[in-house]
């Protein structure tokens, strides 16, 4: 039995996905601190049903084990979450494996076999009955296992067949449950085949767009549309630079809204940092702040941050708290700030800055500013002159706030 999620006037828009290691793996004092970090402004919290910190929920047909999921959902409830569940991955026996055994090396790469789509839908329904306070479900993760090697394209037909069974099963449990897909990863290239979506940031892989369009045309129903992506191209990193590359997020969001008849757009994951970037935490946070501005400006309904917590002590780039020792990290404040000031119901406003290196977004009572330069910048922002330090993110009240 979990507490009802907090009743909020607006959909929070922002949130986190729990990964392999999270607050429930921390010493109690660090877990308590994480509870405060995540709950001071209630946000969305998402958990997968198998993997990413939880074990196999149905090791053998009809034999359920929700111990790990119970623990994660209990933590989420204790930190005032609006809970979300991702229905991935599937027990081995649905994927050609042996009942009672779990081969984690293949967990994230194999889809259920078509003859087990009904079994997976039944598992989804069982999860929904286990957690009646959870009203939002994403179906599967990045089309894992739904790739047709013969045609070198996504198996949108197979995914959509499974999605429709899951959608029906969840709505039969509770018609109020909100269901979304296809949660496909949208990649781009600096130089690749032509696509209907391209810009200074690269050219989107048309195969992902085709998969999304197939799902839109053949789904039984959906309450939102889900994708993920990275600013980086597959062949050249961020183009034309780390900040301008984020135009890709807005372009994809606009395309999704147009294709789907303005369905709410969810970003299940997003990534902005190339491998071995050498970024400081300040630069990382500035680039992330700029991405959140892009999401808010383009009217994204939901954006979930993939929380990269680690098992042991040590450097944890982009984490919300320092693992095992505690201590809030900059990304936590950034998410809390955006959750408080830019929920989905608020009217985001363009804010003028006299220097283009400062990116800013406002609402009636608050403005957030990001210095995208690695040096101090003095500029007039929202009618006030100020100086922002290298990669500084600053919040400022407006209109008497």
What does pLDDT average to in each consecutive run of 10 residues of the chain (401 residues)? 93 98 96 97 98 97 98 97 98 96 89 98 98 98 97 98 99 98 98 94 98 98 98 96 98 98 98 96 98 97 96 93 96 98 95 97 97 98 97 91 45
Residues 315 and 273 in one domain: yes
| Domain end call among 328, 346, 364 | 346
Residues 30 and 64 in one domain: yes
The structure tokens listed for 208 are 């992902």
State the alpha helices, DSSP H only, in 177-301.
206-218, 247-260, 281-297
Residue 86 CA to residue 368 CA, distance in Å, equals: 31
Q: How much is the pTM? A: 0.97
| Spatial contact of 115 and 165, defined as CB atoms under 8 Å apart | no
Q: Is residue 9 part of a domain?
A: no
Residues 361 and 249 in one domain: no
Q: What is the residue range of 362's domain?
A: 347-400
Give me the pLDDT at residue 108, please: 82
Q: Is residue 7 part of a domain?
A: no
Residue 341 CA to residue 346 CA, distance in Å, equals: 8
Q: Is residue 5 part of a domain?
A: no
Q: Is residue 96 part of a domain?
A: yes
CATH number, domain of 76, equals: 3.20.20.80
Give me the pLDDT at residue 401, please: 45
| Backbone CA torsion sign across 271, 42, 252, 213 | positive
| Cα three-residue angle 211-212-218, rounded to 5 degrees | 90
Q: Is residue 367 part of a domain?
A: yes
| Spatial contact of 370 and 393, defined as CB atoms under 8 Å apart | yes
Give me the pLDDT at residue 106, please: 82
| Backbone CA torsion sign across 111, 117, 121, 123 | negative
Residues 329 and 363 in one domain: no
Residues 256 and 371 in one domain: no
Residues 231 and 367 in one domain: no
Residues 355 and 242 in one domain: no
Q: Pairing mode, if any, of strands 178-186 and 136-139? A: parallel
The structure tokens listed for 246 are 């984020």
Q: Which helix (H) or strand (E) holds 130?
A: helix 117-130
Provide the number of structural domains found in the chain: 2
Residues 57 and 140 in one domain: yes
| Spatial contact of 299 and 343, defined as CB atoms under 8 Å apart | no
CATH number, domain of 365, equals: 2.60.40.1180
Residue 16's φ and ψ, nearest 5 degrees, are -135, 155
| Backbone CA torsion sign across 25, 27, 28, 32 | negative
Residues 105 and 227 in one domain: yes
Q: Is residue 235 part of a domain?
A: yes
């Amino acid at each position: 039995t979990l507490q009802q999620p907090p009743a909020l006037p607006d959909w929070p828009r922002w949130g986190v996905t729990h990964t392999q290691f999270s607050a429930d793996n921390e010493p109690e004092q660090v877990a308590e601190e994480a509870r405060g970090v995540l709950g001071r402004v209630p946000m969305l919290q998402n958990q997968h049903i198998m993997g990413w910190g939880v074990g196999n929920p149905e090791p053998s047909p009809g034999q359920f084990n929700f111990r790990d999921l119970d623990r994660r959902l209990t933590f989420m409830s204790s930190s005032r979450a609006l809970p979300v569940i991702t229905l991935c991955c599937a027990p081995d026996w649905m994927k050609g494996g042996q009942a009672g055994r779990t081969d984690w090396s293949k967990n994230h790469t194999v889809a259920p076999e078509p003859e087990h789509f009904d079994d997976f839908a039944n598992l989804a329904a069982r999860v929904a009955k286990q957690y009646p306070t959870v009203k939002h479900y994403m179906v599967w993760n990045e089309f894992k296992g739904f790739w047709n090697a013969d045609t070198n394209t996504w198996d949108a037909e197979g995914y959509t067949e499974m999605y429709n069974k899951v959608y029906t099963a969840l709505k039969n449990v509770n018609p109020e449950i909100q269901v979304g897909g296809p949660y496909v990863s949208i990649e781009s290239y600096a130089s690749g085949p032509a696509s209907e979506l391209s810009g200074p940031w690269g050219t989107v892989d048309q195969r992902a767009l085709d998969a999304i369009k197939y799902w839109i045309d053949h789904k039984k129903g959906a309450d939102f549309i889900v994708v993920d992506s990275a600013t980086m191209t597959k062949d050249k990193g961020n183009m034309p630079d780390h900040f301008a590359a984020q135009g890709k997020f807005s372009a994809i969001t606009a395309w999704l809204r147009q294709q789907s008849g303005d369905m709410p757009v969810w970003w299940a994951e997003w990534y902005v940092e190339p491998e071995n970037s050498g970024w400081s935490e300040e630069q990382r946070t500035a680039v992330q702040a700029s991405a959140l501005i892009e999401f808010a400006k383009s009217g994204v309904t939901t954006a979930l941050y993939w929380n990269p917590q680690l098992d042991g002590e040590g450097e944890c780039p982009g984490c919300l708290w320092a693992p095992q020792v505690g201590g809030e990290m900059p990304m936590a404040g950034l998410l809390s700030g955006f959750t408080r000031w830019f929920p989905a119901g608020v009217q985001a406003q363009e804010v003028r800055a006299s220097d283009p290196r400062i990116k800013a977004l406002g609402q009636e009572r608050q403005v957030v500013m990001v210095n995208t330069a690695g040096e101090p910048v003095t500029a007039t922002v929202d009618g006030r002159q100020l100086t922002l330090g290298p990669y500084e993110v600053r919040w400022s009240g407006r209109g008497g706030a």
